[in-house]
């Protein structure tokens, strides 16, 4: 089914729009299934149209099975005076994700095995889940636990775990070709602003920008799905068209103040790997590029050996590398509009390289063709980078042998990619180049 979406009326987000979307999504309790995911997708669909997919519990997806659906209404621990000392309504991280329902009275000693804290960060509430093992529990700060007196407590988790559905959403920006770029982010975490809401905001506004501009070369598929099981479900249901995915990027941890980190695909030298490394290096800003490992976000599903897609991952500070990771410290103050905009612009630049990078064939390869006679030098008059543009033409002509792409030429020549791409376009207009047909 298709959820309604607003028209795309701006190419770039207004100041504060990214953080505002994060703030709107932040209070929702999400998990790998349930109404929290549906509500999140409804809000995203106000920005971009989404096709919503509901996959029933028990469906086999590769080596996995779609689990039961989990929903929660309320949860608390009350002391002897009836005061809520742990309250789900105040912070949805307080309940272990997928906790089965419980309502009983227990002593603190009986309750302790079900309580999770962070002794090394005593003021923070941890985020914990138990998706595939039926149990229950609460998360609280170590400081709160230390202040609880011995005695009896009322414990309540008002939840349901029953047959239902796994839900995910897709948005497609049609391109000139059926070849696809996959942009993926997860929608399964509760109130964690950086991991994962910042990435959702970046992906949503990236989709809006692509839809508002000229028709792109590639078709762009945006996937908003629960982590791991969502990506696996999507792969299982799309095996007949996986070969269309030529490039991909998993977005996560997109809003903290740290520098950007790019994680290469399993291939290591896929076009997305080269484009991301080039854009980050050309920016001159601090950044990190790391090799693939089979641990992290959903890039490990897309890069599993049977699929081996050219999908990398872009974050700011990587998962587990900041103290606020998977804690109540990952709140609205932890993410900034400026960081999310920086992530968005970086992704945009990477995609523009992918859009323009292609291989060409020199149609006048015997000796250097006379550029002045064709008005190519004259057409560059007045440009501040005229000398660069002239050199770019010579480099493009020399290396357009059908084997080198424009990004290869930019890296070998040391010239900016945009200058090289502009030179190729001018040479094509002068019938000195033609694009190589891609398989």
CATH code (residue 141): 3.50.30.90
On whether both 293 and 221 belong to a single domain, the answer is yes
Residue 155 and residue 170 share a domain: no
pLDDT at 386: 74
- Residue 58's pLDDT is 98
| Beta-carbon-side half-sphere exposure of residue 135 (alpha carbons within 13 Å) | 12
pLDDT of the residue at 97: 98
Average pLDDT over residues 370-397: 78
Pair (213, 320) in one structural domain: yes
User: Looking at residues 191-196, what average pLDDT do you find?
Assistant: 96
195 marked as part of a ligand binding site: yes
- pLDDT for 436: 93
Mean pLDDT confidence for 267-273: 97
Q: Do 177 and 219 share a domain, yes or no?
A: yes
Which of 6-10, 74-78, 279-283 is least confident? 6-10
**Percentage of residues of the chain with pLDDT beyond 90:** 91
Q: Which whole number is the average pLDDT over 346-374?
A: 94
Say whether pLDDT at 376 is over 90: no
- Residue 86 domain boundaries: 70-162
d(CA 228, CA 225): 9
For the stretch 142-174, pLDDT in tens is 999 999 999 999 999 999 999 999 999 999 999
Q: What is the pLDDT of residue 12?
A: 59
Pair 141, 201 in one domain: no
| 7 contacts: CB under 8 Å, gap ≥ 6 | none
Q: Which one of 162, 180, 206 terminates a domain?
A: 162
Give residue 375's pLDDT band: very low, low, confident or very high (50, 70, 90): confident
Q: Are residues 366 and 385 in the same domain?
A: yes
Confidence of residue 374 (pLDDT cuts 50, 70, 90): confident
SS3 320: coil
273 is in an annotated binding site: no
pLDDT of 372: 82
Mean of per-residue pLDDT scores for the chain: 94
d(CA 318, CA 224): 20
Distance CA(274)–CA(88), nearest Å, equals: 45
Tell me what the mean pLDDT of segment 96-122 comes to.
98
Distance CA 8, CA 208 (A): 6
**Residue 439's pLDDT is what?**
59
Residue 86 in contact with residue 138, Cβ under 8 Å? yes
The yes-or-no verdict on residue 6 having pLDDT over 50 is no
Q: Does position 382 have pLDDT exceeding 70, yes or no?
A: no
Same-domain check for residues 281 and 411: no
The mean pLDDT value for 401-420 works out to: 96
**CB neighbourhood size of 328 (10 A):** 22
Same structural domain for residues 83 and 106?
A: yes
Q: Name the token pair of 381.
A: 């008059």
Domain boundary, last residue among 302, 331, 356: 356
Model pLDDT, residue 1 = 44
Tell me the pTM: 0.93
Are 82 and 32 within one domain?
Answer: no
Q: What is the pLDDT of residue 81?
A: 96
Q: Is residue 364's pLDDT more than 60?
A: yes
Q: Give the span between the Cα atoms of 389 and 373, in whole angstroms.
A: 17
What local confidence, expressed as pLDDT, does residue 9 receive? 38
Instruction: Say yes or no: 55 and 183 in one domain.
Output: yes
Residues 337 and 390 in one domain: no
> Does residue 326 have a known ligand-binding role?
yes
- Quote the pLDDT of residue 137: 98
Where does the pLDDT of residue 373 fall: very low under 50, low under 70, confident under 90, or very high at 90 and above? Answer: confident
Average pLDDT over residues 65-79: 98
Instruction: Round to whole Å and give the CA distance between 296 and 298.
Output: 7
57 lies in the same domain as 202: yes
Asked which of 356, 380, 399 is the last residue of a domain, the reply is: 356
Task: Work out how many domains the chain is built from and give that number.
Answer: 3
Residue 194's pLDDT is 98
d(CA 182, CA 308): 14
Q: What is the CATH number of the domain that holds 397?
A: 1.10.10.10
Question: Is the predicted pLDDT of residue 379 greater than 80, yes or no?
Answer: no
């Amino acid at each position: 089914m298709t959820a309604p979406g607003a028209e795309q009326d701006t190419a770039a987000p207004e100041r504060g729009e990214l953080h505002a979307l994060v703030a709107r999504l932040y209070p929702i309790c999400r998990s790998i299934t349930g109404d929290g995911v549906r509500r999140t997708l409804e809000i995203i669909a106000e920005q971009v149209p989404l096709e919503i997919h509901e996959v029933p519990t028990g469906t086999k997806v590769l080596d996995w099975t779609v689990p039961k659906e989990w929903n929660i209404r309320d949860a608390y621990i009350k002391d002897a005076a009836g005061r809520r000392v742990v309250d789900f309504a105040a912070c949805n991280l307080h309940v272990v994700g997928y906790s089965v329902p419980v309502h009983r009275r227990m002593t603190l000693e009986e309750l302790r095995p079900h309580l999770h804290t962070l002794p090394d960060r005593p003021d923070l509430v941890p985020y914990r889940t138990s998706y595939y093992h039926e149990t229950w529990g609460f998360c609280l700060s170590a400081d709160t636990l230390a202040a609880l007196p011995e005695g009896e407590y009322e414990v309540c988790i008002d939840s349901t775990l029953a047959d239902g559905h796994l839900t995910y959403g897709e948005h497609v920006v049609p391109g000139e070709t059926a070849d696809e770029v996959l942009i993926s982010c997860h929608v399964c975490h509760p109130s964690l602003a950086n991991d994962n809401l910042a990435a959702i905001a970046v992906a949503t506004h990236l989709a809006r920008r692509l839809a508002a501009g000229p028709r792109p070369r590639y078709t762009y598929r945006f996937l908003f799905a629960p982590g791991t099981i969502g990506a696996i479900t999507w792969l299982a249901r799309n095996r007949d068209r996986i070969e269309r995915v030529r490039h991909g990027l998993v977005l996560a941890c997109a809003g903290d103040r740290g520098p950007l980190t790019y994680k290469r695909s399993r291939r290591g030298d896929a076009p997305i790997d080269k484009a991301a490394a080039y854009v980050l290096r050309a920016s001159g800003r601090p950044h990190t590029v790391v090799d693939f490992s089979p641990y992290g976000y959903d890039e490990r599903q897309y890069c599993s050996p049977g699929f081996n897609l050219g999908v990398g991952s872009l974050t700011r500070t990587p998962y587990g590398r900041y103290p606020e990771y998977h804690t109540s410290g990952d709140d609205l103050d932890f993410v900034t509009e400026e960081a999310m905009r920086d992530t968005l612009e970086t992704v945009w630049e990477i995609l523009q390289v992918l859009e323009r990078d292609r291989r060409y064939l020199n149609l006048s390869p015997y000796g250097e063709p006379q550029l002045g006679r064709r008005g190519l030098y004259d057409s560059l008059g007045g440009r501040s980078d005229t000398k660069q543009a002239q050199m770019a033409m010579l480099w493009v002509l020399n290396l357009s042998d059908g084997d080198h792409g424009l990004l290869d030429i930019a890296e070998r020549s040391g010239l900016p990619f945009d200058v090289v791409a502009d030179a190729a376009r001018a040479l094509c207009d002068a019938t000195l180049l033609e694009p190589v047909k891609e398989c």
